[in-house]
């Protein structure tokens, strides 16, 4: 009798499991099954230059030790809906006036959405022909890297932001104030971002 009872219990359990399996929806228990057939995410924005490799040494001609020419920059994979771009170049090693501000080497905002880069040697001037504006700690122009020869290499970071709007930020004579206003204005409007970095210190 005990063996018959055990066999009966096993049969009931097996039948219940079979019924549950038959009722389970297709794809249940498969990781990501609900995402099959979905569109892949769009490719991330990229920022490049032929002037120096990403993470490499910036040649003197693009710095304060040379001609202080701005490098040509190219960005790709612009997100849909982009209305303008903001370029921000800064020196991560500089702390200004004992604050968290680092050095403003270049801020260019309201770059048209149709742009795919900036040419080498952007001329000085607060208002550019394409309707964008620029500023740096040196004035309305590109400020090349200028780290001292006796210290470590400095990290100069170029950042490009794709925005879903144009921003209403007037240029002022204070580059740090202007940068703060630009960065505040783009909050909530960034569709994509790309970064490129170079190293520099003055030759001995």
pLDDT tens-digit map of 135-187: 999 999 999 999 999 989 999 999 999 999 999 999 888 999 999 999 999 99
* 86 neighbors 45 (Cβ within 8 angstroms): no
- The pLDDT tens digits for 74-129 are 999 999 999 999 999 999 998 777 777 899 999 999 999 999 999 999 999 999 99
Architecture of domain 46-200: Alpha-Beta Complex (3.90)
Single out the residue of 144, 166, 173 nearest to residue 86, CA to CA: 166
> What is the per-residue pLDDT across 29-81, written as a single tens digit (0 to 9) for each?
444 444 456 788 889 999 999 999 999 999 999 999 999 999 999 999 999 99
3-state secondary structure of 182: helix
- CA 118/CA 50 separation, integer angstroms: 12
Ranges of each domain in the chain: 46-200
Give the number of other Cβ atoms within 10 Å of residue 179's Cβ: 23
Distance CA 43, CA 70 (A): 27
CA distance 16 to 112: 65
């Amino acid at each position: 009798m005990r063996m018959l009872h055990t066999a009966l219990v096993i049969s009931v359990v097996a039948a219940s499991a079979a019924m549950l399996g038959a009722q389970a929806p297709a794809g249940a228990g498969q990781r990501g099954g609900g995402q099959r057939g979905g569109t892949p995410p769009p490719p991330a924005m990229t920022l490049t230059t032929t002037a120096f490799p990403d993470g490499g040494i910036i040649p003197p001609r693009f710095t304060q030790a040379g001609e202080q020419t701005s490098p040509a920059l190219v960005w790709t994979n612009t997100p849909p809906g982009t209305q303008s771009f903001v370029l921000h170049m800064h020196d991560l090693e500089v702390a200004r006036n004992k604050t968290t501000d680092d050095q403003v080497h270049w801020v260019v905002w309201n770059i048209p959405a149709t742009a795919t880069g900036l040419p080498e040697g952007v001329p000085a001037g607060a208002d550019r022909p394409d309707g964008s504006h620029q500023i740096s700690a040196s004035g309305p122009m590109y400020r090349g890297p200028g780290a001292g020869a006796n210290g470590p290499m400095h990290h100069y970071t170029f950042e490009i932001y794709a925005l879903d709007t144009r921003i209403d930020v007037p240029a002022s004579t204070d580059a740090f104030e202007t940068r703060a206003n630009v960065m505040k204005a783009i909050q909530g409007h960034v569709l994509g971002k790309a970064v490129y970095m170079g190293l520099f210190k003055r030759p001995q």
